[in-house]
Structure 1
Amino acid sequence: MTRLRIDLAYDGGGFYGWATQPGIRTVQGSVEAALHRLLRVPEDDPDEPLRLVVAGRTDTGVHAAHQVCHLELAEETLARAVGHMRTDAETALCHRLQRILPADIAVRRVRRAPEGFDARFSALERTYVYRIADRGAEVDPRLRGCVLHIDDDLDLERMNAAAAMTVGLHDFGSFATPNPGGTTIREVKRAVWARIPVSPLVPGASAAPGAVVSTMESGLLCFTIVADAFARNMVRSLVNACVQVGLGKRDLDWFAGKMAVPRREGSTGPIAPHGLTLEHVAYPADAQLASRAEAIRAKRTLPA
């Protein structure tokens, strides 16, 4: 069998998350259906299910600018993608797949995976960004599908003080739900809120309203978080908790208490999904892919 790495992006607004669910439109279901159609493999073929393994499952309404998955299939099946094209099978598959996928999914690249590559377990880290337009930013209706509007002022300094508490190895049980048999222990490498500077599209031009078109993210509050992995609802729940602090509804001691006692109790549910985007998935050098996958499969615990 041949293992392929597939890099893709999608607008999550029209999907019920990544994972396949019967009778429901999902990203995985849409891509797998396209693969079966393109490669002429019956969807109930037990010998070649064409099942995707993803770096990180996204929830309903969450977007991805860079998602990674892998797929195993027979060499002769892959060869069917070439047809009359004068190119290699991976390039042909990428081109043909993009032509039949819906417009809210984009295939960035298809390539043969190096030895030991596992889209999920080989990943070193994932980067998510959550975008908010508060009173410090003009609301752009074009971005309504990927930016949350909050009609209030958010305190950036207090939100960053809360976010700083999440950096390091912690049990995020107050903000996440573990998978069966899993854990909510994760290592956050970076967590920071920043307001995107208001800047014109043309360098050096006046930034006065109406003088020149501004960059689309001007003025937005963006939360960037990087971790080795994320538990279910973890990012959106952390964002919600930071927003509560930024609005003055909760204090920093409350947030510190949530970090100290990893228990869900109803006050740290997830914020709206549409502001969240998976931006990047990083992997180690090829020689370290297999060892990374083996290490990450082990159930993690906190140091005594």
Structure 2
Amino acid sequence: MSTDPHPAARRLRLDLAYDGTEFSGWAVQPGLRTVQGELEAALGVLLRAGDPRLTVGGRTDAGVHARGQVAHLDVTAAQLDKWTGRVGDGTASASGAARGAADELAAVRARRLNGVLKRSAPDIAVHGVREVPAEFDARFSALRRRYEYRLRDGAARRDPLAARFTADVAHPLDLGAMQRAADELLGLNDFTTFCKAREGATAVRELLCFEWRVTEDGAYAARIEADAFCHSMVRAIVGAVVAVGSGRIAQSELVALRDARARSSRFTVMPAHGLSLEEIAYPADADLAARAAQTRARRGALDD
């Protein structure tokens, strides 16, 4: 779908979360249950339109969860009126009253969309549906994306209540070694070793944060933040760091693998169910168009 809205269109931002266990990922796939498929079917009921199309900020794989997913959708003024059951709210001013009215409408739209979703997709929760400038693009306007990966090592007590969201690792892990390994991956790098790169695409990304902590329930959780990620990158870099934490590979070997820029069998890509998309951050409205243009510009390879 083109990101250039029709002149009469109104652009809406959807903030949502989902348990990815029973989904074959975000993107629509024939014959499979997907987050996009369920949402677009529900939107079709609300808008009385046959083919609403969503653009997503972070396309998640099968089994991956989200607490902070963002998508956008273009609708006509008439469709928006059907959704809210009232005349559209127009362009909001900067006043507190106008912001309050816009927040109320966002909540009403979310409530009505959740009402349709609960029939077939109660594992999706829409938190808000608000109007945004036409320049907003859920994918290309994003500044950064933040994920969390949860796991338990072989020394931890298993928790069946958290099993849908926490991966199990058979061996005890050295958390200090894992943090030191994670630090080696920070910054601007070519992550080809950790990506399933598309033909003609670059795997150069800037990893802004990779921090491990012990959670209140005794699991290990990694906060992983970057300007963007390529396919399987988060689960692969976690798998490589876990390989260091278990003693399978040394930190120096991880650095060598990173610099080799080639897929390797020396570490395992971690299971999908331990991963959750936590947040997508965007610039101020005035900077949306510039950010989208910058993101669309293909990033070149790093110098050796």
Q: Distance in 1 between matches of 2:111 and 2:87?
A: 10
Q: The residue matched to 1:80 in structure 2 has which SS?
A: helix
AA partner of residue 204 (structure 2): I
Aligned amino acid, residue 35 of structure 2: V
Match of 1:82 in 2: 84
Contact 1:28 1:52 in 2 (8 A): yes
Taking structure 1 as the reference length, the TM-score comes to 0.87
Cα contact 1:9–1:64 (8 A) shared by 2: yes
Deviations 1:192-251 (A, max 9, x none): 12223xxxxxxxxxxxxxxxxxxxx42211111110000000000111111111111111
Shift of 1:294: 0.5
Return the offset for 1:118.
Answer: 0.6
The amino acid that maps onto 2:290 is S
Which one-letter code corresponds to 2:151 in the other structure? I
Paired residues of 1:61 and 1:274 also in contact (CA < 8 A): yes
| Counterpart among 3, 10, 13 of residue 5 in structure 1 | 13
Aligned to 1:60, which of 51, 59, 62? 62
Q: How many Å separate the matches in 2 of 1:107 and 1:267?
A: 40
Q: Which residue is equivalent to 1:20?
A: 28
Question: Which residue pairs with 1:95 in the alignment?
Answer: 111
The match for 2:40 among 21, 32, 44 is: 32
Letter in 1 for 2:74: E
Contact in 1 for aligned 2:202/2:301 (Cα 8 Å): no
Greater CA drift, 75-84 or 53-62: 75-84
Q: CA deviation at 1:264?
A: 1.1
Cα deviation for residue 135 of structure 1 reads: 4.1
1:235-254 maps to which residues of 2 (within 5 A)?
Answer: 235-254=234-253
User: What residue number does 2:266 align with?
Assistant: 267
Equivalent position SS for 2:213: strand
Task: Using the TM superposition, name which of 20-29 and 85-94 deviates more.
Answer: 85-94
One-letter identity of the residue aligned with 2:132 = A
When the two structures are aligned, how many residues end up with a matched partner? 278
What's the counterpart of residue 51 of structure 1? 53
Aligned to 1:151: 170
**How far off its partner does 1:302 sit?**
4.2
Letter in 2 for 1:95: R
Map of 2:5 onto structure 1: none
Asked whether the equivalents of residues 10 and 134 of structure 2 are also in contact (C-alpha less than 8 Å), the reply is no
Pairwise CA RMSD of aligned residues? 1.9
Please report the TM-score for the alignment, with normalisation by the length of structure 2: 0.87
Residues in 2 aligned to 1:183 and 1:233: alpha-carbon distance in whole angstroms: 14
Question: Contact between 2:105 and 2:130, CA under 8 Å: does it hold in 1?
Answer: no
Aligned to 1:70: 72
The percentage of aligned residue pairs carrying the same residue is 44
Counterpart of 1:187 (choices 206, 228, 232) is 206
Moved over 6 A (4+): 84-88
Contact 1:169 1:302 in 2 (8 A): no
Q: Distance in 1 between matches of 2:69 and 2:207?
A: 19
- Secondary structure at 2:181's aligned position in 1? helix
**Change beyond 3 A, Cα 1:183–1:6:** same
Give yes or no for the alignment of 1:176 onto 2:198.
Answer: no
3-state SS in 1 of match to 2:258: helix
The corresponding residue for 1:257 is 256
Do the aligned partners of 1:165 and 1:259 also contact (CA within 8 Å) in 2? no
Counterpart in the other structure of 2:281: 282
Return the alpha-carbon distance in structure 2 between the equivalents of residues 184 and 139 of structure 1: 36
Q: Tell me the secondary structure at the aligned position of residue 284 of structure 1.
A: coil
Q: Tell me: CA distance 1:90–1:192, structure 2 relative to 1, closer, same or farther (3 Å).
A: closer
Once residues 66 and 20 of structure 2 are traced to their aligned partners in structure 1, the CA distance between those partners, rounded to angstroms, is 7
Structure 1 residues 2 and 221: alpha-carbon distance in aligned structure 2, compared to 1, 3 A threshold:
same
What letter corresponds to residue 255 of structure 1 in structure 2? L
Structure 1, unmatched stretches of 5+, are 43-48, 197-216
Conservation of the 8 A alpha-carbon contact between 1:174 and 1:268: no
Indicate conservation of the 8 Å contact 1:18/1:59, yes or no: yes
* Cα drift, residue 137 of structure 1: 3.4
Q: Give the superposition deviation at 1:265.
A: 3.2
> CA offsets, 1:29-85, max 9 Å, x none?
11001111221112xxxxxx3111111100110000110000011111121113379
On the 8 A contact 1:175/1:269 being kept in 2, the answer is no
| 2:129 equivalent in structure 1 | 110
1:103: Cα distance to partner?
1.2
2:94 corresponds in structure 1 to: none
